Amino acid sequence: MEKLRINYPIIVEGKYDKIKILSVADACVIQTDGFGVFKNSERLALIRKLAEKDKIIVMTDSDGAGKVIRSHITSAIPKDKLIQLYIPQVEGKEKRKQSPSAEGYLGVEGTEADIIRRLLEPFASDTQLPLRTEISKADLYEVGLTGGADSAQKRDDFAVSIGLPRGMTPNALLAALNVLMGREEFLETAKTAIDGFFRPL
């Protein structure tokens, strides 16, 4: 069956949830890494930034932990930018796990693909997002965000200019940028935001 095309970012808890979503949909899927989102200001800042551009879909597990994570995200995002999707509360155990979760319910990863598909179908689009060239580590180096004595300060200044937090590592910044924009947009943004910018040859 052809995958759904979802142009809204989808927020899930873990990598196996992401794998399940991507089995039925072409979409940008962001992991909270469970409760990691509580102490990962970079991840929450990325979610906030995505919500500035468009609505986001939140699909966490139907247990208590999932509700807490959902609440944390929804408290940080304007209500009109949220699409809340809920999986059914079904008792069971994911195949890869030796024992059920604390509450004994299946998470997103254990939910049948047909159910995930039905939840996402109302938000499917016939319009494909334009293909983008990914930003590379070499691009960060060429504009001075890595490899220089003042690169950390430049990363901080650039991150703040696009609504991300200070203190991001090069890898964290690169991952966030590739969710937010393509290489061409990055270079245009860097041209005005970074002192001493120069375009790669």
The 3 state secondary structure assigned to 64-110 is HHHHHHHHHHHHHCCHHHEEECCCCCCECCCCCCCCCCCCCECCHHH
For residue 201, pLDDT beyond 50: no
pLDDT at 132: 80
User: Where does the pLDDT of residue 194 fall: very low under 50, low under 70, confident under 90, or very high at 90 and above?
Assistant: confident
DSSP bridge pairs for 29: 10
For residue 1, pLDDT beyond 50: yes
Model pLDDT for residues 58-80, shown as the tens digit of each residue: 999 999 999 999 999 999 999 99
Instruction: Give the fold, CATH level 3, of 4-123.
Output: Rossmann fold (3.40.50)
Q: What percent of the chain has pLDDT over 70?
A: 95
Give domain limits for the chain: 4-123, 137-193
Which run of H or E residues covers position 44? helix 41-53
Count CB atoms within 10 A of the CB of residue 201.
4
pLDDT at 94: 83
Model pLDDT for residues 176-189, shown as the tens digit of each residue: 898 888 999 999 88
Q: Give the whole-angstrom CA distance, residue 90 versus residue 93.
A: 9
pLDDT at 196: 58
Q: Give the whole-angstrom CA distance, residue 172 versus residue 88.
A: 33
Pairing mode of beta strands 29-31, 10-12: parallel
pLDDT at 4: 94
For residue 129, pLDDT beyond 80: no
Residue closest to 144 by CA, chosen among 124, 162, 158, 165: 158
Q: Are 27 and 10 in contact (CB under 8 A)?
A: yes
Q: Which residue has the higher pLDDT, 98 or 34?
A: 34
Q: Which residue has the higher pLDDT, 173 or 197?
A: 173
For residue 140, pLDDT beyond 80: yes
For residue 27, pLDDT beyond 60: yes
Residue closest to 107 by CA, chosen among 85, 82, 84, 89: 89
